[in-house]
Chains A and B, each alone.
Chain A
């Protein structure tokens, strides 16, 4: 079954640790996105990619980085986690070419202590 996956679903980690949030999709989509959302608040786009080796920053400035080496995989990395990074991180994908409706993964809830 075609789907979009995120791991881990929940992560509690100490300040200063490096973390990578994984996102994979099996829908053959060319476009992938990372959003940040605090409880009860708006979605904010932090990164997006329209294809392999193509990444762009989103509308909300973020200290995280992303890579797109494979079409189906779009990991997000925080080099040094801080309590201000505590949030829910949502990955989404869209495509193929011409399709812009986005489908979301289940999210990763990150808590930095």
Chain B
């Protein structure tokens, strides 16, 4: 079982719709969770971090964390073609020397 699992994708949504990305993780003691956006051929860019249960909103992005269910999600509201990218979920594992474990990523395509 992988430490961090994401929707296999690809996810195709129409412009203006909500894109919903899911991520589950294996270490119940994890405290820190991150979402990165990676455009094709570019390096990952940090877009959200979340540490407490509940929702955290930043512009059109909302991260949701449920530690009891070991689940973190990212919602992209009013999706734009510029949101087309691969989204990586990353979890900090204390049991892994405080290294980030990355999911394989979910590729999102926003149709104009």
Query: Are the chains A and B members of one assembly?
Result: yes
In the assembled complex, the Cα of A105 lies from the Cα of B20 at a distance in Å of 27
In the assembled complex, the Cα of A100 lies from the Cα of B99 at a distance in Å of 8
Q: Tell me the interface secondary structure of chain B in the complex.
A: strand
B92: chain A residues at CB < 8 Å are: 100
In-complex Cβ contact of A100 among B43, B98, B105 (8 A): B98
A102 at the binding interface (Cβ < 8 Å): yes
In the assembled complex, the Cα of A45 lies from the Cα of B44 at a distance in Å of 14
Interface bin, chain B: 10 to 19
In-complex Cβ contact of B43 among A58, A90, A101 (8 A): A90
Q: Tell me the interface secondary structure of chain A in the complex.
A: loop
In the assembled complex, the Cα of A42 lies from the Cα of B4 at a distance in Å of 12
**Across the interface, do A104 and B45 meet the contact criterion of CB distance under 8 Å?**
yes
Q: Chain B's nearest CB lies how many Å from the CB of A6?
A: 9
In the assembled complex, the Cα of A77 lies from the Cα of B90 at a distance in Å of 27
Q: A43-B44, A106-B43, A107-B43 are in contact. Are A101 and B49 (CB under 8 A)?
A: yes
A104: chain B residues at CB < 8 Å are: 43-45
Binding site for A on B (CB under 8 A): 32, 34, 41-46, 49, 88, 90, 92, 97-100, 102, 104-105
Binding site for B on A (CB under 8 A): 33, 39, 42-43, 45, 48, 56, 58-59, 90, 100-107
Sorted nearest first, the 3 A-B pairs with minimum C-beta distance are: A104-B43, A107-B43, A43-B102
